[in-house]
Amino acid sequence: MTAATAQMGEFETMKRSWPQDLLASVVVFLVALPLCLGVAIASGAPPALGLITGIIGGLVVGTLAGSPLQVSGPAAGLAVLCYQLVQEQGLIMMGVVGLIAGALQLIAGIARLGQWFRAISPSVIHGMLAGIGVLILGSQFHVMIDDSPRGSGIQNLLSIPEAIYKAIFPMAMDSHHLAAITGVATIAAILIWNQFKPKQLAMVPAPLIAVIVGTLVAAFAGFDIKRVTVPDNIVASLNIPTMEALQRGLTMEILLLGVVFAFVASAETLLCATAVDQMHTGPRTKYDKELRAQGIGNMLCGAVGALPMTGVIVRSSANVQAGAKSRMSAIMHGVWILATVVALPWLLALIPTAALAAILVYTGYKLVNIAQIKKIASYGRVELAIYFTTLGGIVVFDLLTGVIIGFVLATAKVVYTFTHVRVDLEDDEMAGRTDVFLHGSATFFSIPRLAGVLETVKPGREVHVHVEHLDHIDHACLDMLGAWEKQHKATGGSMVMEWQDLRERYASPYQKMQDSADGEGTWPGDGPKKARPVLEPAA
């Protein structure tokens, strides 16, 4: 199918499905609005910058995306990085880092590297998301009581008891307890709505209900607490990088931050796209195209100093569940955000900051997915250790350090798996027989261990080598076994090995044809020896 034909087919789909897409866009807008505001506040940025990112994510990335039903916008997964950036480098540098990250994503998409961003252990990815969730929960817990986050993730977590004390036993003139009441009401609204929402209103998102409840509680009770600040003119909120900021962007520190943002945003986006593909039966994601679209979107966000964006699973899943059939839904949700910012800024100004922070506290908790931890545990203790090490590294150090630690551990596990063989020896003295059981991968790394075990076999024994539990055996190990067999026979012993099984598992199709044509094997134990084949791993 040519690109023109595919575009024509997609256009026809949009023409047919616009009623469903229109309804879905409203649902996505209602989910996205409080999250755009909340993520901006969690990032230490003005709320308007989160709204601008949502608008660009809808209008621009929605139009260009390689995943038609994925929705892009400011993401909780980047909020921790953004907050650190703002605190250490200043708000003006957010746009510069966004420009660098977007350019790297665009280049990666053009170079067709989209699939490679998915080559990360699931334990590392889910550990990263859980670590981000813990950091978000820790920082936003303080914002939920109208307090300021502490200096680090560990300090935020350790000072949660202090925050609870402030909320329960407020000092004179403090409003911590009032904000806490609003936050608790907001979280309660999410929980109650998710559990008891009427079927007729199933499409109404819990975050919207929660924001309405939190706003009404604060308004009717007359709470004097912090509220969202949105300018009457959205243009006045632009955070366009200055020439001095652009020059700072050439320093190694800022360039490295751009690389980190590009990596995390790309990984989160493409994992989200994969998850979205599993939710529907429509067109599959074109990963390189999606990466290019995200790059263009982040460069535009950087140019105006808005928050960086990713594909986001909460909005995307709401889009699919609401019945969206084409990219028109994602595009229209950006239109609704723009219309709200232009026409109803006074409405946004009624929303308490505590209500938005409460939504993010709940979001952070959900990122620490207990079901996912159980699933990872089913693959073994090593995978679970990688998960918790990644999580702990992010919380104790920072996001990049935690991911690197997790990636190194995952790589070490792969290396160990493909270089480790377990050799079990069983002696039957009555029968004069020794059984050697091989488990794992027998490679040239394994030769010292395998040779050491075989050297303990008594001369003259009948040796049975069992290979049915091997995942892989390479040419070097086969040569060593063949050589040992000759030496053992010289002492009056014998060796029995399932050469036929090995041939079927590891010989190339060409070699199998040659064996059949020659009428004799080319492996150890097959009679007259020819040059042995270069082994290929099992499919």
Of 136 and 529, the one with more pLDDT:
136
| Residue 533 main-chain phi, psi, to 5 deg | -75, 155
Mean of per-residue pLDDT scores for the chain: 86
Q: How many whole angstroms separate alpha carbon 388 and alpha carbon 231? A: 42
Q: Where are the beta strands (DSSP E) in 443-526?
A: 462-466, 470-473, 494-497
120-130 average pLDDT score:
84
Contacts of 449 (CB under 8 A, 6+ apart): 421, 423
Which structure tokens are listed for 283? 């067109």
Q: Where are the beta strands (DSSP E) in 447-500?
A: 462-466, 470-473, 494-497
534 band by pLDDT with thresholds 50, 70 and 90: very low
335 band by pLDDT with thresholds 50, 70 and 90: very high
* pLDDT for position 530: 43
Asked if residue 511 has pLDDT above 80, the reply is no
* pLDDT for position 142: 93
Over the stretch 393-432, which tens digit does the pLDDT of each residue have? Answer: 989 887 778 888 998 999 998 888 777 888 998 988 888 8
387 band by pLDDT with thresholds 50, 70 and 90: very high
Residue 276's identity, in one-letter code, is V
148-176 average pLDDT score:
88
528 band by pLDDT with thresholds 50, 70 and 90: very low
* pLDDT for position 167: 93
450-470 average pLDDT score:
87
Strand 462-466 to 470-473 pairing = unpaired
Which residue, among 263, 521, 526, has the nearest Cα to 402 in the 3D structure? 263
* Share of residues in the chain with pLDDT > 70 (%): 90
Residue 294's identity, in one-letter code, is Q
Q: What are the C-alpha distances in Å from 395 to residues 75, 141, 535?
A: 18, 15, 45
- Minimum mean pLDDT among 48-52, 181-185, 498-502: which range? 498-502
- Minimum mean pLDDT among 206-210, 482-486, 512-516: which range? 512-516
* pLDDT for position 222: 93
Which residue, among 344, 332, 340, 341, has the nearest Cα to 59 in the 3D structure? 332
* pLDDT for position 6: 63
* pLDDT for position 337: 94
Which residue, among 364, 437, 317, has the nearest Cα to 149 in the 3D structure? 364
Domains of the chain and any CATH numbers: 17-413 (no CATH), 421-507 (3.30.750.24)
User: Taking the alpha carbons of 83, 86, 92, 96 in that order, is the dihedral positive or negative?
Assistant: negative
Beta bridge partners of 423: 438
The alpha-carbon radius of gyration of the chain (Å, integer) is 30
Q: What are the C-alpha distances in Å from 4 to residues 1, 8, 175, 288, 289?
A: 8, 6, 60, 18, 15
* pLDDT for position 192: 95
56-84 average pLDDT score:
92
* pLDDT for position 537: 40
Of 195 and 151, the one with more pLDDT:
195
535 band by pLDDT with thresholds 50, 70 and 90: very low
Residues in the chain: 539
* pLDDT for position 313: 79
Q: How many whole angstroms separate alpha carbon 41 and alpha carbon 51? A: 11
Q: How many whole angstroms separate alpha carbon 305 and alpha carbon 327? A: 26
Over the stretch 261-273, which tens digit does the pLDDT of each residue have? Answer: 998 899 889 878 8
Asked if residue 77 has pLDDT above 80, the reply is no
182-207 average pLDDT score:
90
Within 10 angstroms of residue 205's Cβ, the number of other Cβ atoms is 25
Asked if residue 533 has pLDDT above 50, the reply is no
Judge contact between 358 and 146, C-beta under 8 A. Answer: no
Judge contact between 80 and 266, C-beta under 8 A. Answer: no
* pLDDT for position 430: 83
Over the stretch 423-447, which tens digit does the pLDDT of each residue have? Answer: 998 988 888 899 999 888 888 888 8
Judge contact between 68 and 283, C-beta under 8 A. Answer: yes
Which structure tokens are listed for 184? 């608790």
Judge contact between 144 and 180, C-beta under 8 A. Answer: yes
User: Taking the alpha carbons of 99, 103, 109, 113 in that order, is the dihedral positive or negative?
Assistant: negative
Q: What is the pTM of this model?
A: 0.73
Over the stretch 346-384, which tens digit does the pLDDT of each residue have? Answer: 888 899 999 999 988 998 888 888 888 999 999 889 999
Q: Where are the beta strands (DSSP E) in 230-294?
A: none
Asked if residue 109 has pLDDT above 90, the reply is yes
Asked if residue 523 has pLDDT above 60, the reply is no
* Share of residues in the chain with pLDDT > 90 (%): 42
Q: How many whole angstroms separate alpha carbon 39 and alpha carbon 515? A: 65
Asked if residue 152 has pLDDT above 90, the reply is no
Of 356 and 8, the one with more pLDDT:
356
Judge contact between 251 and 89, C-beta under 8 A. Answer: no
Within 10 angstroms of residue 432's Cβ, the number of other Cβ atoms is 12
Q: Where are the beta strands (DSSP E) in 206-354?
A: 310-311
